[in-house]
Amino acid sequence: MGREVDRQAAFEDLFASHYWAVRAYVLRRGPEAAAEDVVAETFLVAWRRLDTLGDDPLPWLLGVARRVLANQQRADRRRGALAARLQSLLPAPEPDWGPPATMSDELAGAMVRLSPHEREALLLVAWEGLEPARAARAAGCSPAAFRARLHRARRHVGAALAETTIAPRSSIAGEPS
């Protein structure tokens, strides 16, 4: 009984420490409506594996969240098989990853053209603020492989942004004097 209480306390610590980071990760990659279930499933897996978690569990948690999110998307696609078949008849199928509304068209276009691994590498660094070594753990690959993905992703996005021209013209307005 004492062990169960200890385990629960350890889990509650883990939850309190990382809930918001995991939730933000999921919100950045999936629909808000699905976030609660994905986060709950992620922490359920974490509870099962509680004894094996190291000192820095966040990268691992994010990796689990990514897989839970992917599984959920796959399940959704299976449910909508007819819709998927109809969609496949369209000339440009929707990408798996949808850019958020906060992203400019130029950047969104460049991000959509990346491979999923490259895109995730960039986002783990830019959005989750992880250093490459921790980000590699979240991505489930070696640090060397992660650096290569990150390098390719930055190069592709940088090249795409260099081709675009931003034409901002801001003005100041008010009541004429």
Q: Which residues bind other proteins (CB under 8 A)?
A: 1, 4-5, 8-9, 11-13, 15-21, 23-24, 27-28, 35-36, 39-40, 43-44, 47-48, 58, 99-104, 107, 111, 122-123, 125-127, 129, 131, 154-155, 157-159, 161-162, 165-177
Tell me the closest approach of the beta carbon of residue 15 to other proteins, in angstroms: 6
Residue 19 tokens read as: 């809930």
> In angstroms, what is the minimal distance from the CB of 47 to other proteins?
5
Q: How many whole angstroms separate alpha carbon 10 and alpha carbon 71?
A: 27
Q: How far is the CB of 81 from other proteins (least distance, A)?
A: 29
- Positive or negative, the CA dihedral 156, 157, 159, 160 is positive
Nearer Cβ to other proteins (16/90): 16
Pick between residue 98 and residue 140 the one whose CB is nearest to other proteins.
98
Helix (H) or strand (E) holding 46: helix 32-48
Closest CB 136 distance from other proteins, rounded Å: 16
Complex with other proteins: residue 8 or 71, whichever CB lies closer: 8
Q: What is the Cα–Cα distance from 48 to 88, expressed in whole angstroms? A: 39
Q: How far is the CB of 122 from other proteins (least distance, A)?
A: 6
Distance CA 24, CA 177 (A): 47
Classify burial at 30, counting beta carbons within 10 Å of its beta carbon; exposed 0-12, middle 13-18, buried 19 or more: buried
Residue nearer to other proteins on the CB measure, 58 or 136 = 58
Report which DSSP code applies to 93. P
